[in-house]
Amino acid sequence: MDFNSAHTAVVILNWNGLPHLQQFLPSVVANSGNAEIIVADNASTDGSIAFLQEHYPQVRLILLSENFGFCEGYNKALQQVKAKYYVLLNSDVEVPLGWTEPVVQLMEQDPNIAVCQPKILAQQHPSFFEYAGAGGGLLDALAYPYCRGRLFETLEEDKGQYDDVQEIFWATGACMFVRADVYHMLGGLEPAFFAHMEEIDFCWRAKNAGYKVMYNGHSRVYHVGGGTLHKSNPRKTYLNFRNGLALLYKNIPSQELGAALLIRVLLDWVAAFRMLLAGQKKDAKAVLDAHMDLLRNRKYWLRRRKEQQPKGNFPYLAGVYKGSIVWQYFIRQKRTVQDL
């Protein structure tokens, strides 16, 4: 296949996201240095392609035949991109001048860094961290994800407390730098996830393979969030609970699996009951549908677990909190990572 080679390729996956392309692509084109800019399109029908062809002929287009979702959309697109580093960038992200350099420089210094993210701030409230990624992703003992700068719905103000370089557990898919060879070696993103938590699964697999996942607070980007699927959408509830449970099942060591899975299922039921009490019947049903989906497809997830579990001893995984953030947040009223 004949395609251009680039040291860094910024790849935006688009599906009917014309307003975001109109608003945010100009900053990506203007401020990304020598990186190749690519838009991979999941069969949009909103005029996105015509807009790009007319206004951004310098942006490379990869046209996919249907909407493959976030995971398989990127997997299929990146098979056609030759670069040392991929940057998976959401279409609703605004970037400042020189945003790629600090992250790429860090990764160049240490070949064991497979994945890295910059600081993620809220585009509409730029003095605060943004939900998806914030100051770097972490995980608790039950595989509940949280971030430096974000515990559940509580977002911290950016006061320079995460202007550091730190090993983390997972980097956000909203702006994820990844070594291309590692991406392909690990098989890319889990296609059955479709969307949500796929980056956590990928980073977990990278760490199990002996690589590091890093955060570099010397670079920052501004993310809107919820651009494709709003957090109030029951479809998002379904994907988050289904993928959260699959994430735990696929990756946790066998000696921890039984207890962690049981507690996680019980906590999911508690969450569904709270949704019912709040009148969110569709969301409560989405939690139950998520569990049923996992049971129906248990043979697939068992196969994926066997394929992706590390051989031999599990490596030390930086970025894991040994307690429960559910307990700390809802019972002990802890609101920041520093409080844990």
- Among residues 82, 157, 91, 85, which one has the least CA distance to residue 121? 157
* pLDDT of amino acid 118: 98
Nearest partner of 33 among 96, 123, 84, judged by Cα? 96
Total domains present in the chain: 1
Q: Return the pLDDT at 316.
A: 72
Lowest mean pLDDT among 27-36, 114-123, 288-297, 306-315: 306-315
Query: Model confidence over 80-107: pLDDT tens digits?
Result: 999 999 999 999 999 999 999 999 999 9
Look at residue 15 and tell me if it is in a domain.
no
Using CA atoms, how far apart are residues 122 and 75, in angstroms rounded to an integer?
27
Residue 312 and residue 219: Cα distance in Å, rounded? 37
How far apart, in whole angstroms, are the C-alpha atoms of residue 203 and residue 24?
Answer: 27
Mean pLDDT of 290-312: 93
pLDDT digits (tens, 9 = 90+) for 145-157: 999 999 998 999 9
Residue 40 counted as domain residue: no
CA gap 308, 47 in Å, rounded:
39
For residue 295, is it within any domain? yes
Does residue 300 form part of some domain?
Answer: yes
Tokens linked to 329: 């947040």
* Any domain includes 239: yes
E strand segments, the chain: 5-14, 36-41, 60-63, 82-89, 93-94, 113-122, 137-140, 145-147, 150-151, 154-155, 165-167, 175-179, 212-223, 320-321
Task: Provide the pLDDT for residue 5.
Answer: 52
Please report whether residue 93 resides in a domain: no
Task: Report how far apart, in Å, the C-alpha atoms of 274 and of each of 270, 278, 339 are.
Answer: 6, 6, 25
Helices then strands, counting H and E runs in the chain, come out as 11, 14
Using 50, 70 and 90 to split pLDDT, how confident is the model at 314?
Answer: low
User: Where are the alpha helices (H) located in 172-233, listed in sequence order?
Assistant: 180-185, 198-208
Query: Which domain covers residue 277, as residue numbers?
Result: 234-314
For residues 204-231, give the mean pLDDT: 87
Write out the two tokens for 190.
């889990």
Which tens digits make up the pLDDT trace of 37-82? 999 999 999 999 999 999 999 999 999 999 999 999 999 999 999 9
Residue 256 lies in a domain: yes
Helix (H, G, I), strand (E, B) or coil at 37: strand
pLDDT value for 311: 76
Q: For residue range 103-119, what is the model confidence (pLDDT) as tens digits?
A: 999 999 999 999 999 99
What is the pLDDT, as a whole number, of residue 4? 45
Give domain status of residue 252, yes or no. yes
- Find out whether 85 and 56 touch, Cβ atoms under 8 Å: no
Q: What integer is the mean pLDDT of 254-271? A: 95
Percent share of the chain, pLDDT over 70:
95
Task: State in Å, rounded, how far the first CA of the chain is from the last one.
Answer: 51
Confidence class of residue 226 from pLDDT cuts 50, 70 and 90?
A: low
Report the predicted TM-score, pTM, of the whole model to 2 decimal places. Answer: 0.94
